Structure 1
Amino acid sequence: MNKKFLIFFLIPTAFYAQVKVDVNWNVKHTVGGVSTFERSKFMTIHANQTEAEWDGDNQIADLRDDFLNGYDVYLGRETGLITYTLNTVAQDPLRPGFASPSDISAKGANHINNFKAKPALKQYESRKNLILCGQLYPFWTGTDSKPTGKGWYLANGTATGEYMGKFIKAFNGGEGPNYPAFVEIVNEPDWDLLGGINESSNSIKEIADFHVTVASAIRAEVPNAKIAGYTNAFPNYEVNNFQKWTNRDKMFCDIAGTSMDYWSVHLYDFPTIGGKRQMRSGSYMEATFDMMDQYSYISLGSVKPYIISEYGAQTHDYNNQQWSSYRDWLNIKSFNSMLMTFLERPNTIVSAIPFAVVKAEWGYNTTTGIPYGSRLMRKENEPESYTGQWVYTDFVKFWQQWKNVKGTRVEIKSDDPDILVKAYVDGDKGYVIINNLEQVSKTINLNLFDNKNENITQIVKRYLTVSASLMTDLQETTITNPITSLTLEPETNVVLEYRFANSLTLDKVIEETKYYSDTYLKPVVANTALSYTVNGIIKSASGSAVLRLGIGRDHGKSLTPIVKVNNTTITLPSDFRGDLQTQRTSFFGVLEIPVPYDVLLENNVVTVQFPDSGGNVSSLGFQVYNEGTHLSTKEFQYDNSVRITPNPTKDSLAVISIDENLLNSVAYIYSIQGSIVHKEKLNQLNTNVKLNSLSKGIYIVVIQKDNKKLARTKLIVN
């Protein structure tokens, strides 16, 4: 529903549903220093190429090639082989509760020999950004653990981690498959062990301690393993006035945060559950990310990146039914809306996998005759009968719509928060993606800006919608005339692929950075101002800013507080992403509030005051967009004593130069989130310090003496 003020319902729909979208083809948009659409992160499937389900009686002769190469899709996650092997491996006769190292090695050698015997599989190693994950049982060794298929129990977390590490070494490398990019310890332990989605009293401590022990044992075998946890099934932080947050994700961060390289989360919309609609897409998902980001920043000193190893929709009311195109549509529309949110975080999301497995014959219910729901493939004669050759379900239309999208992100703006937009440039091609979160149609007024006035020679429009007969419908048309207006039906998505006469030149840049307050999760008391400080903001000569205010409140409570930034009252927008969440027990979302750029300072005080009591402000921070005409910082000079020169030569990222008369200064390099990543004493014998070995990102360079800042600037590492 439309969330604007009630009087809007008295105005014709055609009037208020007009949305302005502006694209600046020549303006590069970086987020934390990242601007590339990385298909290996975002165009993925929950599968590995070694799975036998790619083979069989397929209508397409070479399914792997058609899907993976044809639509430029990457392999994302494998949970079966490591679990199957644990259920068949022998116990170490000398160490009860530990897997036999020799049996693991023998099974690994056999796996590699089988891989070598199928040379056609090798080509798909380049299509891997693979997550290896164990199922909860029999990996779990705590309360309610279960035995392996051989009847023995893993002794403890060390035994679990040792098995996982030895499995990785035995089954990968050399002439076998590549090592996995990431390791998740177990899949969704909270779901089985801690109760349902709205349970909030049970503590995650036993699971968190298990993750710490397992991670240590894995690294003893595979020191470079990148480990993620805890594959949170359904993060509902706001449940019971944020008690679930306190007992789950906060506690996991406090106990296991330093042992994890990544947070691992599963995100699902519930478009149809007992006749209700409970969506995460929109402001709810923004609030989930912001709360975890801010607490990660507060407690660990930096924002830890994410693995989204499953996302999409749980279609509860349709789950015990035969296949239908409409059920596929419910998943696909969530794929698209969630992906648009993930693409806003290319610097903190390392993998996002829409949940669809290849055939899921293991999930076919022989009693009811109901196949598994979330599949890439189905039997040709479904839903009438589970017979015929294997053909694509309508899930494939998601990857078909996105099949060519790649390149460098460029600036695109929407004046409606429910219209999510992205744009990319790749040589002489440009891509505009527009997603409608609303349950009403929206007319888009599309404005393209290009300072070179390059001619558009062709536009391919791929529009994904649902038909009147509830069939998933991907419409592809080729257009030669510019598109200035188009209509998006409810919850639909369009990809516009432009071909230009010449390659586009990106000669300007927008640099987006998030800054966080050092406090969070404050209870709301009527007419009492909550105060926050957000420090260390760097601005350019021009730009824009958004205050991100996370709120968790009961329905009926105010969502329009009085907000002041540096004692200036800020006008709140009348809308936010997604719906009002009225079919949830409470509201949890982020208000994205534009703040005048000149009001923003290096160090800021923000106050938030509600007229009524109850609920919490869950998070608060700024999203700052600095504008520039160059892609790296200019030389910065302070009083002829200190000079920071970015990218002066190919052998360094930057040089800090200091006057010989200025002794005992210290150079600090901070990540943009505030954690120190480099520190070096400067003196007359070391007047030029070369900065190297910084990963891609944005850094703050500070020269300081006796707690006084002598110089400060920003360094971008591309």
Structure 2
Amino acid sequence: MYSKITVILFFSFVSLASFSQEAKVTIDLSMQKFIGAESELKREKYFNIHSSFSSWDLASHADVLFDQLDINFGRTFGGPSPFQKSKTQVPKPSEAKARGINTAKHWKNAPLFKKYKTNDLIITDHPANAFQLNMDYEKIAAYNVEYLKNAFPIMPKYYEVMNEPFVHSKDYVKTWAETDAVILEMTKLHKVIADKIHAEIPDIMVGGYSSAWPEVDRKNFDHWNTRMKSFMDTAGESMKFFATHLYDGRNVTGNYNYRSGSNSEAILDLIETYSYKKWGIVKPHLISEYGYTSKGLLGKPHSPELNGVCLKSYNNILMSLLDKPDRLLKSIPFIVGEGNWFYKDKKKNPDGHPYPWVIVKKNKDGVKEFTDLKKFYELWKGVSGKRVDVISSNPDIQVNAFIQEKKAYIALNNLHDKALNTTLAFLRKSKEYIQSSTLRRLYTTDAGIPKLVYFTDYDFTKDIVLKSGETVILECNLTETPLKSKITENNYYSKTYLQKVEAKKTIQFTIDNVTTGKKGRAAIKMGIGRAHDLSKKPQIVINGKPVEVPENWAGYDQKSREQFFGVINIPFDIRHTIKGENKIDITFPDTGGHVSSVILNIEKIE
């Protein structure tokens, strides 16, 4: 039974580092912020459910979920599945067409279709239905194209060829030693399918590889070299996006750990940097699943405590992804509909319990009710608008802020395992625009039960004490929309990456084509993978100017992992940057590990 005790044991096992217990959040409601060319919060990128408008389960809840809470559809296992019936032969395109026509009827007849249909949807397949060894990949691609042309009344925008394929590579061979060959073949299939689909169906974007376990730093980055790097080298040219699953806990395999915070930042930064190295552009991410998972959760009674753990992970990861609108296509918290298929699974669920990640559960008496996962969408209800400038003095307090007409939404999230006293400081008379405010707080009680509470007429001039893992949204009613100035954030990449660290040996990163200014902020985002007893505070010099490296980063100390792998954000004076070529020198006092990526982040006031 998944109980509160299990949750508490897990959190004590990966207890967070005790850094500063205070934070200052500075807000300028008059300054519109752009990240790349993006300022408007596109809810379809972030506030999704792992389901589609073909779902019959959710029809009776549509008014609440899709009208009131403005939830968008995210992903469905509705791909071509060429090996759904036979594992030994590729069916003919004529069969794909016939099956596709029948599928299209199912979509059109679904009760949600008429009102909620959208092309902003991901389709994928289970690996066993999408791939078999020693098959003709051109024939598979031909089947898939013919199916896609006929199966969808409205063409989905995104197609992941397989869901989490590489962790299933052992299903096709007898030994783990043989799995590298299987992974290569799966990768080749991605490329063949992508090339054919992009040529014949330009409205759909194909990508992969839906990494279930992005433990890229494992065995001195051997996991990176044999998984994502190999995939990018072989199929990346044909991919429109790179898909990754980010889970706290343990997804399929690996140690219990947190991805949220510095670790997920390092994973995504490494993918971005290698993309820039290969093609001179950063191909976008598709985070088609994220949240919390672990072995042993299936077939257990419904657990509000588990819902509470999941809600923390959703918000931790969401707040990070909100900072990447210019290089993120879509992200989906792993929350599904009713999961009726799971009640019928006698092997994994002999006692007929709900699937752990459903938004609607069925009780033993057959009565259906919403689970606490609904609180994720209730917390973020209505949050929209143009991004405004907000910064936090403590990386454990994540921040985002938006203005929609005469409303402002200021979101704060606490990554720390302790409460943090947070002071709100409003710049350039921003405070004067606020007429009234409501504070939404989502947290878990001492017993692990998630609570969402609202405080109306909230005194926003007071400090907010954020509980461990708490997310708050301050919704402010404004006298007017005060946007008067502009700040633009851009990230600049070096083609040098994944450098071994040797004691007192300087590693130089050259970053070209930088646009900067005299007003604004600058930071170096340094990704490192090092043993826990090695230094995380090197000497850093940019363009001849020394930079102080902080001793804090987003999230926990990672002691539950084999080594530290994360991004340390290093702010410095923007006047140390120059237009064009910038040089960053990094020197560690000790030998071991790697600098995985170095990104120059510039926020220029215009």
Q: Flag whether TM exceeds 0.5 (same fold).
A: yes
Q: Match of 1:64?
A: 62
- Select 2:322's aligned residue among 328, 337, 343: 343
- Select 1:131's aligned residue among 119, 122, 125: 122
- Select 2:601's aligned residue among 616, 623, 628: 623
Inter-partner Cα distance in structure 1 for 2:276 and 2:420? 37
Q: Percent identity?
A: 29
Secondary structure, counterpart of 1:536 in structure 2: strand
Which residue type is aligned with residue 363 of structure 1? F
Matched, 1:165 2:158: no
Q: Match of 1:404?
A: 382
- Select 1:582's aligned residue among 526, 540, 559: 559
Matched, 1:99 2:91: yes
Which residue type is aligned with residue 45 of structure 2? K
- Select 1:216's aligned residue among 195, 206, 224: 195
CA contact (8 A) 1:418 1:437 kept: yes
Q: Match of 1:564?
A: 541
CA contact (8 A) 1:200 1:239 kept: no
- From the superposition, tell whether residues 452 and 338 of structure 1 become closer, same or farther in structure 2 (CA, over 3 Å): closer
Q: Match of 1:519?
A: 496
Which residue type is aligned with residue 42 of structure 2? E
Which residue type is aligned with residue 300 of structure 2? Q
Q: Match of 1:441?
A: 419
Q: Match of 2:5?
A: none
- From the superposition, tell whether residues 139 and 118 of structure 1 become closer, same or farther in structure 2 (CA, over 3 Å): closer
- Select 2:278's aligned residue among 286, 294, 299: 299
Aligned ranges 1:147-158 → 2 under 5 Å: 155-158=135-138
CA contact (8 A) 1:275 1:317 kept: no
Inter-partner Cα distance in structure 1 for 2:64 and 2:309? 24
The CA RMSD measured in Å over matched residues stands at 2.5
Which moved further from structure 2: 486-495 or 267-276?
267-276
Secondary structure, counterpart of 2:456 in structure 1: strand
Matched, 1:30 2:27: no
Q: Match of 2:218?
A: 239
Q: Match of 2:512?
A: 535
- Select 2:355's aligned residue among 368, 372, 393: 372
Which residue type is aligned with residue 361 of structure 1? N
Inter-partner Cα distance in structure 2 for 1:269 and 1:2? 13
Shift of 1:227: 0.6
* 1:116-170 CA-partner distances (Å, limit 9, x unpaired): 45565211014x5100111111210226xxxxxxxxxxx4222322222222211
Q: Match of 1:182?
A: 158
Q: Match of 1:592?
A: 569
- From the superposition, tell whether residues 549 and 125 of structure 1 become closer, same or farther in structure 2 (CA, over 3 Å): same
Task: State TM-score, norm by structure 2.
Answer: 0.91
- From the superposition, tell whether residues 471 and 553 of structure 1 become closer, same or farther in structure 2 (CA, over 3 Å): same
CA contact (8 A) 2:518 2:574 kept: no
Q: Match of 2:49?
A: 45
Which of structures 1 and 2 has the larger relative contact order (alpha carbons within 8 angstroms, sep 6+)? 2
Structure showing the higher strand proportion among its residues: 1
CA contact (8 A) 1:218 1:225 kept: yes
The number of equivalent residue pairs is 582
Q: Match of 2:264?
A: 285
- From the superposition, tell whether residues 542 and 157 of structure 1 become closer, same or farther in structure 2 (CA, over 3 Å): same
Q: Match of 1:191?
A: 167
* 1:297-351 CA-partner distances (Å, limit 9, x unpaired): 0111100001111010113354453111010111111110100111110011010
Unmatched runs of 5 consecutive residues or more in structure 1: 6-15, 56-61, 144-154, 381-385, 629-718
Unmatched runs of 5 consecutive residues or more in structure 2: 1-14
- Select 1:121's aligned residue among 113, 127, 133: 113
Inter-partner Cα distance in structure 2 for 1:104 and 1:44? 29
Q: Match of 1:150?
A: none
Task: State TM-score, norm by structure 1.
Answer: 0.77
Which residue type is aligned with residue 42 of structure 1? Y
- From the superposition, tell whether residues 581 and 201 of structure 1 become closer, same or farther in structure 2 (CA, over 3 Å): farther
CA contact (8 A) 2:261 2:554 kept: yes
Inter-partner Cα distance in structure 1 for 2:443 and 2:301? 21
* 1:12-42 CA-partner distances (Å, limit 9, x unpaired): xxxx522111110011111111111100110
Shift of 1:187: 0.7
Shift of 1:215: 1.4
Shift of 1:387: 3.0
Aligned ranges 1:411-430 → 2 under 5 Å: 411-430=389-408
Q: Match of 1:545?
A: 522
* 1:450-488 CA-partner distances (Å, limit 9, x unpaired): 547644333222111111232111112212543431111
- From the superposition, tell whether residues 469 and 308 of structure 1 become closer, same or farther in structure 2 (CA, over 3 Å): same
Q: Which has the larger radius of gyration?
A: 1
Matched, 1:75 2:51: no
Which residue type is aligned with residue 472 of structure 1? P
Inter-partner Cα distance in structure 1 for 2:67 and 2:578? 49
Secondary structure, counterpart of 1:332 in structure 2: helix
